[in-house]
Amino acid sequence: MYFPGQKRETVFTKLFRKVKALAESFSRRYKLTKSVHIYISGQKEQLIIAPQYVDKSGLIIEQEECFVYEYPVNSTKLGEELFRCINLFYYKDENIRIEKDSDWPAFKHSKCKTMKAFMNEYILISVSSTNDGNIILKMEGHPYKDSLLTINSTISCYLGGTLSKKRADELGNRIFLVYEACLSKQFS
């Protein structure tokens, strides 16, 4: 019933309230799909693991703090560090933009003087969970800058639990398989 001076709720406002309630419900249940970048250079004998975060615009950006190791590193150590770094992924409630290429965190931790050298000497392996349950990891190797084809591999690894030495070794070995396939351009 409508009374004078009372606001009428239109069909549009009812629909808007329902959509807003659904969106709020979804955002409370939404979990992040985690990701990390790994850069490997045989020439520079260096491995860089760059944890990432997502800003409120949805852009995924590398964190300032990267973890640098002398290459080669054993597969168990690599698997443990990958597991630790991917779990550093978080949501940051602000829009972040990197102003210059030289501000790129992985580049700043590399042994290269120029971006061109960095892009040519390091192979990028992107590691991300395939769903918001963070149960399966997808590893995507980029053989060279702007390559149209990538090397992909998936492995089961629940990121919410603890990591056994065997699983850490499997993760590290899988990263090395993707890296070797990127170097040789051959698949096994």
Those residues with Cβ within 8 angstroms of residue 82's Cβ, 6 or more apart along the chain or in another chain = 36, 38, 49, 127, 171, 172, 175
What the chain holds in terms of domains, given with CATH numbers, is: 33-184 (3.40.1590.10)
Sole residue written with tokens 């168990």: 76
pTM here is 0.78
Q: What are phi and psi of 164, to 5 degrees?
A: -80, 160
Label residues 161-170 b or e (16+ Cβ within 10 Å = b).
Answer: eebeeebbbb
> Are 47 and 85 within 8 A, CB to CB?
no
Q: How many CA atoms lie within 13 A of 9 on its CB side?
A: 7
Per-residue pLDDT tens digits of the chain, which is 188 residues long? 555 555 555 666 666 666 666 555 544 444 678 999 999 998 999 999 999 988 877 788 888 899 999 988 999 999 999 999 998 998 887 766 666 777 888 999 999 999 999 999 999 999 999 887 788 999 999 887 778 888 999 998 877 778 889 999 999 999 999 999 999 876 65
pLDDT given at position 84: 92
Cα distance between residue 164 and residue 161, in whole Å: 10
> Are 59 and 96 within 8 A, CB to CB?
yes
Q: 183: how many CB neighbours lie within 10 A of its CB? A: 14
**Helix, strand, coil abundance in the chain, percent, nearest 5:** 35, 25, 40
Cα distance between residue 72 and residue 44, in whole Å: 10
Query: Nearest 5°: CA angle at 74, between 77 and 153?
Result: 80
Q: Could you say which DSSP state residue 101 is in?
A: G
Kindly state the tokens that stand for 79. Answer: 């698997």
- Inter-axis angle of helices 75-86 and 165-184, nearest 10: 100
